[in-house]
Amino acid sequence: MAKRDFYDILGVNRDASDEEIKKSYRKLAMKYHPDRNPDNPRAEDHFKEVKEAYEVLTDPQKRAAYDQYGHAGIDPQAGMGAAGGFSDAFGGIFDEIFGGGRGGRSNIYRGADLRYNLEVTLEQAAFGTETKIRIPTMEACDSCRGSGAKAGTQPKTCPTCQGSGQVRLQQGFFSIQQTCPKCHGTGRFIAEPCTSCHGAGRVKQHKTLAVKIPAGVDEGDRIRLSGEGEHGINGGPSGDLYVQIHLKAHPVFQREQNDLHCEMPISFTTAALGGEIDIPTLDGAAKIRVPPETQSGKTFRLRGKGIKGVRSHAHGDLLCHVVVETPVHLTERQKELLRELEESSRENSAQHNPRAKSWMDRVRDFFAAT
């Protein structure tokens, strides 16, 4: 049965404005609405006819296609209204460009990847550990088993795209495919959505996972847990979970790749006369010999006392930076002894304070040059 002309259905001229079309539609929709005509079985057919005409004539692209080609211009299955026409000849090309092909796009989608930021201590990063994390994720709804439809019902084939997930739009001599606006590319229409997931087929949940942290991980490293991301759509595979490693600040050590750095305060006496001091490491204390006349900032390297990285074959080093500590809360006797030391040092300051002598010489040369 041939369709009636949309302009005749709405009772407007072909050059009618949008306002005239809307006014006529409101009037006819009220007249044929099924709730107002419970005893007239044809009223619903008239109402659908009026609604279809209104949707086409208020869409500028659809109206232009309808004015040029009639009903064939807006029928996604009709091309240009003639089999083997220009639209059919180029349809395959546009399908490949815009995706989907003749069969439409796949309705199966892989779940999204997730990221979890995990803070670990320096010791955990150095020696490895296993911990548990609790993450939010989207899982298949138990009530509808992922279908999105209310229990006892099933999703129906989308009436707009006939299940392909795509609709064909005609523009002049060309036709292109776009995602179906009614089903958003799924090809399915859920008349009665599930009350638990509201038709999404997935619900937000939390799950607890055990994560094994390999020895030697560093700031910014990622651990991939395959298939532990969000649940796929329509049976698609789950995404992956990436655990991003962040190192907590350590009270003693600073890490630089596989090396460790620390500052060690030493007394004025130890720096001047030398001695042995204990140095902390990740696997116990170590002793180093401080030579006499050690200056503040001197670095001592302990080979192999750093961290063995995930992709390294050997341990890094521990670099200990000594800092000469100035004594505080001195007694009068201690102050007197230091004054005596200062007086005796002045007799040959160049010998006792070589760095000060060198610095003063550079200052003198600078001012002489200016």
DSSP character string of 193-240: B-TTTTTSSEEEEEEEEEEEE-TT--TT-EEEETT-SSPPBTTPPP--
Task: Return the residue matching tokens 């179906």.
Answer: 180
**Rounded Cα–Cα distance for residues 164 and 132 (Å):** 43
What fold characterizes domain 6-98? Helix Hairpins (1.10.287)
Grade residue 317 by pLDDT with cuts at 50, 70 and 90: very high
- Residue 177 clears pLDDT 70, i.e. is over it: yes
Judged by DSSP in three states, 182 sits in coil
pLDDT digits (tens, 9 = 90+) for 105-143: 455 678 788 888 999 999 999 999 999 999 887 777 877
- Please tell me the class of the 107-150+198-249 domain: mainly beta
Pick one of 2.60.260.20, 2.60.40.790, 3.20.20.450, 2.130.10.10 as the CATH number of 254-369: 2.60.260.20
pLDDT digits (tens, 9 = 90+) for 276-286: 888 888 888 88
- CA-wise closest residue to 76 among 174, 188, 170, 171: 170
**Rounded Cα–Cα distance for residues 293 and 352 (Å):** 10
- Residue ranges matching CATH 2.60.260.20 in the chain: 107-150+198-249, 254-369
Classify residue 36 by its DSSP letter.
G
Cα–Cα distance list, 367 to 355, 359, 362 (Å): 19, 13, 9
**Rounded Cα–Cα distance for residues 317 and 262 (Å):** 11
- Residue ranges matching CATH 1.10.287.110 in the chain: 6-98
**pTM for the full predicted model:** 0.53
**Rounded Cα–Cα distance for residues 66 and 81 (Å):** 11
Average pLDDT over residues 203-216: 88
More confident residue, 175 or 62: 62
Interior angle at CA 273, CA 270 and CA 279, nearest 5? 35
Q: What is the pLDDT of residue 127?
A: 92
